[in-house]
């Protein structure tokens, strides 16, 4: 594939890659609205309609995350074999079908079956497919491209979920989910068909560069023996475990302190800061020491958690939520950029998919573990201090290898 070092100017607004960024933004909005943030909506509605135990429904959510994590590992191979357009089309169609079906669920076993289908859609609309797709169009501006596209993830929560909830209130759960799925298909499928072709310098037979002497299975096996890869994957797995566990329990923690309305404002502020942080970082992220930027982000979240645990002042809690949120979006972008900088570029798709799968498997257990520790200790102090420990350990791990590499 050609890069900006050859005949392609990735900084030009006319470069076709920026149209792919727009497509990936829309795909991320759709994927996170139905796949990630939508899970909280499904839990509330199914509990309200059928009275099923929260533990049963949330276990199905964990099943969704784990199934999706296993599938996302193989996204790079799917992109190489079928091309980015076909993979995106399959992801959107599958996600829409699962979203429509989840409104028709009548029995617990059906919920698990639909979550399995939803996992396929998540693998085809989330981080793995987006980074693999943009990796085919961008080299020097890959960080900016991925950061801008993944703002769609935040829009999925800010715009997609409120619209879904409003539709459910007007039309009922079943009809609203069918209508939302149809809207998603009608909007996204034509956009993908019209705008996503083959990357510069690629053909249908060679949609992504790979090593001719190493299969994806062998690449993954080597990665698990590589200290550089392990330092990145373990560090981000620890941080995302802490981050997801904290965010899921944030309203429950803040509600008795500042009330449900202000707690909701704190979550909205954190989400808005995640967008602001990702946009600001996108302009410089390709020129930063990305391991150092990661470590600073980890420490900033730890500082925010210390403030949240120990101060009861409304303003301090809001400010701490904003500080925590500033790095939330970048923590799903930085692993791909470190892989791009430190590893053979032909390994990018396989390694990013592998890290994404490892992270998702890990953070799937975050909310459950935080909840168990909270119940066992009687407060959120113990689990949140545990999250602080994970953040600081990750900061040390990712910088130790960076120092050794420079030495």
Reduced 3-state DSSP string for 272-303: HHHHHHHHHHHCCHHHCCHHHHHHHHHHHHHH
Nearest of 374, 336, 152, 396 to residue 246 by alpha carbon: 374
- How confident is the model at residue 119, as a pLDDT? 93
Around Cβ 129, how many Cβ atoms within 10 Å?
A: 28
SS3 readout for 96-110: HHHHHHHCCCCCHHH
Together in a domain, 38 and 114: yes
- How confident is the model at residue 237, as a pLDDT? 94
- How confident is the model at residue 208, as a pLDDT? 43
- How confident is the model at residue 146, as a pLDDT? 85
End-to-end CA distance of the chain: 32
- How confident is the model at residue 406, as a pLDDT? 45
Together in a domain, 389 and 279: yes
> Among 180, 209, 238, where does a domain finish?
209
- The CATH number of the domain where 265 resides is what? 1.20.1250.20
- Count of the separate structural domains present in the chain: 2
Contact predicate 136/149, CB 8 Å: no
Together in a domain, 126 and 225: no
Q: CB-based contacts of 163: which residues, under 8 Å, 6+ apart? A: 180
How many whole angstroms separate alpha carbon 245 and alpha carbon 387?
Answer: 8
Contact predicate 293/335, CB 8 Å: no
Nearest of 128, 146, 147 to residue 137 by alpha carbon: 146
Q: In 103-195, which residue ranges form alpha helices assigned H by DSSP?
A: 108-123, 127-137, 142-149, 151-155, 161-171, 173-195
Together in a domain, 205 and 74: yes
Together in a domain, 30 and 131: yes
How many whole angstroms separate alpha carbon 54 and alpha carbon 66?
Answer: 18
Contact predicate 257/383, CB 8 Å: no
DSSP bridge pairs for 203: 206
Nearest of 138, 103, 117 to residue 11 by alpha carbon: 138
Together in a domain, 273 and 330: yes
* Residue 305, both tokens: 């958690």
pLDDT in tens, the chain (407 residues): 344 444 667 677 778 888 999 999 999 999 988 988 888 788 778 888 888 887 788 788 888 888 988 898 888 888 888 999 999 999 999 999 999 999 999 999 999 999 999 999 999 998 889 988 988 888 777 778 888 888 888 888 778 878 888 888 889 999 999 999 999 999 999 999 999 887 776 544 344 444 445 677 888 888 888 888 999 999 999 999 999 888 878 877 887 888 867 877 887 788 888 888 888 887 777 777 889 999 999 999 999 999 999 987 888 999 999 999 898 888 888 888 888 888 887 788 788 888 988 988 898 888 878 888 888 888 888 999 999 999 999 999 998 865 544 44
Compute and round to an integer the Cα radius of gyration of the chain: 21
Domain boundaries, position 158: 1-209
- How confident is the model at residue 160, as a pLDDT? 82
Together in a domain, 201 and 228: no
Together in a domain, 70 and 205: yes
> Among 181, 209, 237, where does a domain finish?
209
- How confident is the model at residue 4, as a pLDDT? 40
> Among 159, 186, 209, where does a domain finish?
209
Burial of 86 (0-12, 13-18, 19+ CB in 10 A): middle
Around Cβ 256, how many Cβ atoms within 10 Å?
A: 9
Together in a domain, 391 and 279: yes
**Three-class SS of residue 4?**
coil
Burial of 376 (0-12, 13-18, 19+ CB in 10 A): exposed
Together in a domain, 30 and 81: yes
Together in a domain, 143 and 28: yes
- How confident is the model at residue 397, as a pLDDT? 93
Together in a domain, 171 and 279: no
Contact predicate 30/184, CB 8 Å: yes
């Amino acid at each position: 594939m050609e890069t900006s070092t050859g005949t392609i100017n990735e900084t030009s607004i006319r470069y076709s890659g920026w149209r792919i960024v727009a497509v990936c933004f829309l795909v991320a909005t759709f994927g996170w609205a139905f796949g990630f943030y939508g899970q909280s909506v499904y839990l509330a509605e199914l509990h309200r309609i059928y009275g099923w135990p929260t533990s049963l429904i949330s276990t199905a959510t964990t099943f969704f995350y784990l199934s999706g994590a296993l599938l996302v590992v193989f996204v790079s191979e799917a992109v190489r074999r079928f091309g980015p357009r076909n993979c995106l089309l399959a992801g959107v169609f599958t996600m829409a079908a699962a979203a429509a079906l989840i409104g028709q669920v009548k029995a617990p076993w059906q919920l698990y079956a639909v979550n399995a289908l939803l996992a396929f859609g998540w693998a085809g609309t989330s981080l793995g497919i987006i980074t693999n797709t943009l990796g085919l169009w961008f080299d020097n501006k890959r960080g900016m491209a991925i950061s801008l596209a993944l703002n769609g993830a935040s829009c999925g929560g800010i715009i997609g979920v409120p619209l879904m909830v409003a539709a459910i209130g007007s039309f009922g759960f079943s009809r609203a989910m069918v209508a939302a799925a149809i809207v998603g298909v009608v909007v996204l499928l034509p956009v993908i068909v019209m705008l996503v072709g083959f990357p510069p310098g690629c053909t249908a037979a060679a949609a992504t560069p790979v090593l001719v002497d190493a299969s994806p299975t062998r690449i993954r096996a080597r990665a698990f023996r590589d200290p550089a890869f392990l330092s990145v994957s373990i560090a981000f797995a620890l941080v995302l475990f802490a981050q997801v566990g904290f965010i899921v329990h944030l309203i429950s923690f803040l509600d008795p302190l500042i009330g449900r309305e202000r707690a909701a404002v704190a979550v909205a502020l954190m989400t808005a800061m995640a967008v602001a942080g990702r946009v600001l970082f996108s302009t410089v992220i390709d020129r930063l020491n990305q391991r150092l930027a990661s470590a600073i982000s980890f420490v900033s979240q730890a500082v925010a958690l210390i403030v949240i645990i120990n101060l009861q002042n409304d303003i301090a809690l809001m400010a701490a939520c904003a500080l925590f949120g500033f790095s939330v979006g970048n923590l799903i972008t930085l692993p791909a950029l470190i892989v791009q900088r430190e590893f053979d570029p032909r390994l990018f798709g396989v390694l990013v998919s592998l890290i994404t799968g490892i992270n998702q498997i890990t953070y799937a257990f975050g909310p459950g573990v935080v909840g168990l520790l909270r119940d066992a200790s009687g407060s959120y102090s113990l689990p949140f201090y545990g999250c602080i420990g994970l953040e600081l350990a990750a900061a040390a791990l990712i910088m130790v290898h960076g120092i050794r590499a420079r030495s």
